């Protein structure tokens, strides 16, 4: 048990656990099946070490960067995570205000507990909208139009969720999901509250499992927003994504909630970066808990990272202020890491600043 205020992001997880009912905490924390990938997402970072450079003038550190032309105070964004009301009554509105105060981009989840309109009116943060495609395609059309009308700047199409991964904590807890407000009036499904995970029950009825590469053309035809593809883990898919003309690739295994025994994302980042050949930005998520993790992802070629669980733990523990604190902790740690590695700007961070297991085998 912790005395006083948390001093790092991991300690926010403990506060969140104390603050939340078990069902809610388990929803945020859990991964798929054996949770091998869940552990690995974090553990793989611990096998990457630094090659710090010395006697560089680090009297001023500039962490700023830009994504699709939008300036960020640091290369750390907010990943789309569902149902923030399970963490805090103000839900995504608090998260969006925290994103604005942190000068970063928030990706709003398709499965948000607040509406697109509520989130848009709650802050000036640059926001992207994360999309799932249901068999009922008119739902995507409607939601994309609403996101555009409300000033969202890009679409993040999540492609690793044709079906929902088997999250056994949610099955055991019989997870009851609050209403997904954006879907009100668009969708009617019956969910049996005694039958296991409510989220699984919903997904299995509505997800379009036929979605494939050809549908990117369809998505482009219904929007003028740039499209990023979230959930790429191989060079093959990275090349396909570039071919079909997406604006960015997001290396992600959905926080280990989908296919268990997918590799830790940090272990496949370099493969994807090499396949993309600089044609579009590569964004990274999965297991970021420290500023050192952010630095490692940048060294392996990511333009920015996104954080999922740490944000909801901050929200659960302290609401908007908790999210701001989590983002600030990561930024402070990144700044220190840059100083101690001899990198005054993010452009100074190179592949030669880290040492991975594959380097050891070479
Ligand atoms: C997610 N993630 C996710 N992704 C997405 O595209 N749409 C979604 O609705 C959700 N929902 C969601 C809920 C919760 C509770 C978690 C933990 C994750 C995945 C998320 O965007 C991101 O890929 C991971 O969270 C990154 O890993 P970390 O930072 O949680 O380790």
pLDDT of residue 1: 53
Task: Label residue 217 exposed, middle or buried (CB < 10 Å: 0-12, 13-18, 19+).
Answer: exposed
Structure tokens at 65: 């960067």
What lines the ligand 1 site, CB under 6 Å? 27-28, 41, 79-82, 109-111, 130, 158, 230, 252, 254-255, 257, 285-288, 307-309, 312
Per-residue pLDDT at 195 exceeds 90: no
Q: Is 254 noted as a catalytic residue in this protein?
A: yes
pLDDT of residue 361: 78
The span from the CA of 129 to the CA of 110, in Å, is 7
Lowest-pLDDT choice from 83-92, 134-143, 188-197, 322-331 = 188-197
Q: Is 309 annotated as a binding residue?
A: yes
The span from the CA of 82 to the CA of 301, in Å, is 27
The span from the CA of 262 to the CA of 270, in Å, is 15
| Shortest-distance Cα residue to atom 6 of ligand 1 | 158
* Ligand 1 pocket mutation pick from 257, 258, 294, 326 by most atoms within 8 angstroms of CB: 257
Q: Is 287 annotated as a binding residue?
A: yes
What is the mean predicted confidence (pLDDT) over 14-20?
98
CB 176 within 8 A of CB 200: no
The residues, ordered by sequence, that sit 6+ positions from 179 with a Cβ below 8 Å of its Cβ are 113
| Shortest-distance Cα residue to atom 16 of ligand 1 | 81
Instruction: Name the E strands within 216-279.
Output: 227-232, 248-251
Distance 58 CA to ligand 1 centre (A): 34
Per-residue pLDDT at 19 exceeds 90: yes
| Shortest-distance Cα residue to atom 24 of ligand 1 | 255
CB 7 within 8 A of CB 233: no
pLDDT tens digits for range 170-182: 999 999 988 889 9
* Ligand 1 pocket mutation pick from 32, 308, 329, 330 by most atoms within 8 angstroms of CB: 308
pLDDT of residue 6: 96
Distance 252 CA to ligand 1 centre (A): 9
Question: Is 283 strand, coil or helix?
Answer: strand
**Mean pLDDT, rounded, of the chain:** 96
Per-residue pLDDT at 336 exceeds 80: yes
pLDDT tens digits for range 79-125: 999 999 999 999 999 999 999 999 999 999 999 999 999 999 999 99
* CA angle, residues 103, 272, 46, in degrees to nearest 5: 70
Per-residue pLDDT at 3 exceeds 70: no
| Shortest-distance Cα residue to atom 19 of ligand 1 | 254
Q: Which of 45, 95, 149 has its CA nearest to residue 309?
A: 95
CB 16 within 8 A of CB 316: yes
What is the mean predicted confidence (pLDDT) over 156-166?
97
Q: How confident is the model at residue 191 (pLDDT cuts 50, 70, 90)?
A: confident
The residues, ordered by sequence, that sit 6+ positions from 169 with a Cβ below 8 Å of its Cβ are 26, 27, 29, 30
* CA angle, residues 210, 215, 217, in degrees to nearest 5: 175
Interface pTM, i.e. ipTM: 1.00
Atom of ligand 1 lying closest to residue 110 CA: 9
CA dihedral for 216, 222, 228, 230, sign (positive or negative): negative
pLDDT tens digits for range 305-328: 999 999 999 999 999 999 999 999
Atom of ligand 1 lying closest to residue 130 CA: 6
Percent of the chain at pLDDT exceeding 70: 99
Q: Which of 143, 163, 183, 153 has its CA nearest to residue 72?
A: 153
* CA 266 vs CA 117, 178, 229, 245: distances in Å: 34, 33, 17, 24
pLDDT tens digits for range 37-56: 999 999 999 999 999 999 99
Q: What is the pTM of this model?
A: 0.97
Which of 84, 88, 254, 353 is the catalytic position? 254
pLDDT of residue 295: 99
Tally of CB atoms within 10 A around 352:
9
Q: Is 132 annotated as a binding residue?
A: yes
The span from the CA of 336 to the CA of 341, in Å, is 8
Structure tokens at 309: 């669980």
Tally of CB atoms within 10 A around 201:
20
Distance 79 CA to ligand 1 centre (A): 6
Q: Is 130 annotated as a binding residue?
A: yes
Task: Give the number of residues written for the chain.
Answer: 362
* Ligand 1 pocket mutation pick from 10, 31, 41, 80 by most atoms within 8 angstroms of CB: 80
Tally of CB atoms within 10 A around 147:
27
pLDDT of residue 257: 98
């Amino acid at each position: 048990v912790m005395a006083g205020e948390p001093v790092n992001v991991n300690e926010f997880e403990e506060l969140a656990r104390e603050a939340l009912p078990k069902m809610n905490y388990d929803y945020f924390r859990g991964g798929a099946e054996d949770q091998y990938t869940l552990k690995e997402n974090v553990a793989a970072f611990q096998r990457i070490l630094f090659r710090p450079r010395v006697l560089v003038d680090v009297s001023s550190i500039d962490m700023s960067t830009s994504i699709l032309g939008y300036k960020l105070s640091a290369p750390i964004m907010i990943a789309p995570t569902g149902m923030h009301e399970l963490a805090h009554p103000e839900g995504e509105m608090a998260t969006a205000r925290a994103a604005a105060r942190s000068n970063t981009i928030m990706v709003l989840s398709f499965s948000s507990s607040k509406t697109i309109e509520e989130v848009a009116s709650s802050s000036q943060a640059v926001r992207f909208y994360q999309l799932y495609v249901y068999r009922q395609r008119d739902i995507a059309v409607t939601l994309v139009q609403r996101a555009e009308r409300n000033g969202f700047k890009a679409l993040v199409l999540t492609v690793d969720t044709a079906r929902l991964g088997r999250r056994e904590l949610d099955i055991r807890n019989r997870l009851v999901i609050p209403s997904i407000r954006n879907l009100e009036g668009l969708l009617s499904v019956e969910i049996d509250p005694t039958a296991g995970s409510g989220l699984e029950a919903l997904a299995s009825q509505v997800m379009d499992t036929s979605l494939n590469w050809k549908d990117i053309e369809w998505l482009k035809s219904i929007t003028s927003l740039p499209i990023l593809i979230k959930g790429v883990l191989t060079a093959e898919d990275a090349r396909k994504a570039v071919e079909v003309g997406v604006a960015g690739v997001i290396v992600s295994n959905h926080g280990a909630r989908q296919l268990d025994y997918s590799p830790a994302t940090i272990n496949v980042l370099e493969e994807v970066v090499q396949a993309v050949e600089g044609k579009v930005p590569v964004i990274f998520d999965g297991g970021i808990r420290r500023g050192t993790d952010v630095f490692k992802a940048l060294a392996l070629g990511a333009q920015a990272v996104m954080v999922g669980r740490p944000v909801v733990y901050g929200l659960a523990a302290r609401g908007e202020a908790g999210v701001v604190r989590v983002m600030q902790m990561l930024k402070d740690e990144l700044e220190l890491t840059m100083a101690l590695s001899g990198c005054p700007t993010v452009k100074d961070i190179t592949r030669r600043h880290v040492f991975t297991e594959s380097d050891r085998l070479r």
